[in-house]
Amino acid sequence: MDLGIRGKLALVTASSGGMGRNIAHTLAAEGANVALFARSADKLQAVAAEVEAQHGVKAIAVTGSMTEKADVQRLAKVLQENGGVEILVLVSGRPPNPLRATLDEPDQARWDEAYRSQLWGVIEVVNGIAPQMLEHGWGRIIAITSASAKEPMKTHSLSTVFRAGVTAYMKGLANEIGSKGITVNCVAPALIDTSHRQGAAAYTEEQARYRKTLTPLGRMGTQEEMCGVVAFLASRQAGFVTGSTIAVEGGMIGSLF
C-alpha cells in the first residue's frame, strides 16, 4: 500500500538510536525524507548516513535538545530551508532511574527532570515546528507516549504523570488545528522488545520472560510492529484519525476503552 508520504519531510526527535532511529528508518523506507534531531552529534550523523544509504532519501542531522528553545529555533530554521516539515514524530526522554513507588518520589529535582524530558520538550518542539505545517495546510503530528498513560504501571509515576500530560496536550492540539488539515495522535507502546538497545537499558532475560506473561499474545512486540503503527498515522490513509491514542501493547491493557 502506498502511504502517500513519498517526498515529504519527516522530523523524528531523539533519533540517534533506539525507537527514534527505527521510526526514522521506517518512514524513510516509505520514501519520506527525514530530519533527525538529538543531542549526540556523532550518533546522529551515523544514523543519517545509514538512512541515506539504505533508502535513497535525504537525511538531515541537526544536533540539539528538545528542551532548549535556541536549539529548537535553530532546528526550525534548518527545516524551513529544506521545504518545511509535514510529519513530526515526537520521541522524548525516559524518566530518571531508578523507578520508584509513588510515595517514594519526594525529590523535586527528579520530578523537574521528568517534566522537562517527557512533557516540556514535546511542547517546545511543537511550538517551534507546527507553524510550518500550518503553512503547508497539511500535517501529521505523532507523539510516542506509553501504555502507562492508559493503565498506570507499578513504580512508573514519573513516567505516567507526564506521558498522560502529553496525551492531554495532544488531544487539545488536535481539536484546535484539525481544520488546518493536520492530524494529531499518540502511540502508546508497552512490552516492546528492546534488544536493539545497547547495555543495561535492554530487558534482562528474566524481565523479558515476565513481560511475556502480561499479554494474551505471550510474546514481546517488535520494533517493526510499533513503527508500523507510527507509519500508518503518518499516512494519507490516516487522515480521518485524530485526537486518538493507539495502544501497541499486545492486549495488556484490561479496559474496554
Q: How do residues 107-146 score in pLDDT, each as one tens digit?
A: 999 999 999 999 999 999 999 999 999 999 999 999 999 9
In a domain, 143, yes or no: yes
Q: Burial-class residue 256 by CB neighbours within 10 Å (0-12, 13-18, 19+).
A: exposed
pLDDT of residue 201 exceeding 60, the answer is no
What average pLDDT does range 144-163 have in this prediction?
A: 91
CB 13, CB 38: distance < 8 Å: yes
Domain limits for position 169: 9-248
In which band, very low, low, confident or very high, does the pLDDT at 256 lie, cut at 50, 70 and 90?
confident
**DSSP 8-state symbol, 3:** -
User: CA 15, CA 35: separation in Å to the nearest integer?
Assistant: 9
In a domain, 228, yes or no: yes
Beta-bridge mates of residue 59: 34
Amino acid making up residue 30: E
User: CA 66, CA 69: separation in Å to the nearest integer?
Assistant: 8
Of 31-35, 168-172, 183-187, 249-253, give the lowest mean pLDDT range. 249-253
Domain CATH for 81: 3.40.50.720
In a domain, 172, yes or no: yes
φ and ψ of 206, to 5 deg:
-65, -45
In a domain, 253, yes or no: no
Alpha carbon 215 to its chain centroid, in Å, reads 22
Residues of the chain with pLDDT > 70, as a percent, come to: 96
Give the pLDDT of residue 233: 98
In a domain, 238, yes or no: yes
User: CA 118, CA 160: separation in Å to the nearest integer?
Assistant: 10
In which band, very low, low, confident or very high, does the pLDDT at 198 lie, cut at 50, 70 and 90?
very low
pLDDT of residue 59 exceeding 50, the answer is yes
In a domain, 77, yes or no: yes
Give the pLDDT of residue 199: 45
User: CA 66, CA 254: separation in Å to the nearest integer?
Assistant: 33
Give the pLDDT of residue 49: 98
In which band, very low, low, confident or very high, does the pLDDT at 200 lie, cut at 50, 70 and 90?
very low
CB 194, CB 201: distance < 8 Å: yes
Overall number of domains in the chain: 1
pTM: 0.94
- C-alpha cell read off for 137: 495546510
Long-range contacts of 24-28 (CB under 8 A, 24+ apart): 24/51, 24/59, 25/50, 25/51, 25/54, 25/55, 25/227, 26/224, 26/227, 26/228, 26/230, 26/231, 27/87, 27/89, 27/230, 27/231, 27/234, 28/54, 28/55, 28/57, 28/59
What average pLDDT does range 185-189 have in this prediction?
A: 97
In a domain, 119, yes or no: yes
CB 133, CB 178: distance < 8 Å: no
Give the pLDDT of residue 196: 53
What average pLDDT does range 45-65 have in this prediction?
A: 98
What average pLDDT does range 54-59 have in this prediction?
A: 98
Q: Cell 520508584, residue?
A: 100
Report the residue count for the chain.
Answer: 257
- C-alpha cell read off for 39: 543531542
In a domain, 52, yes or no: yes
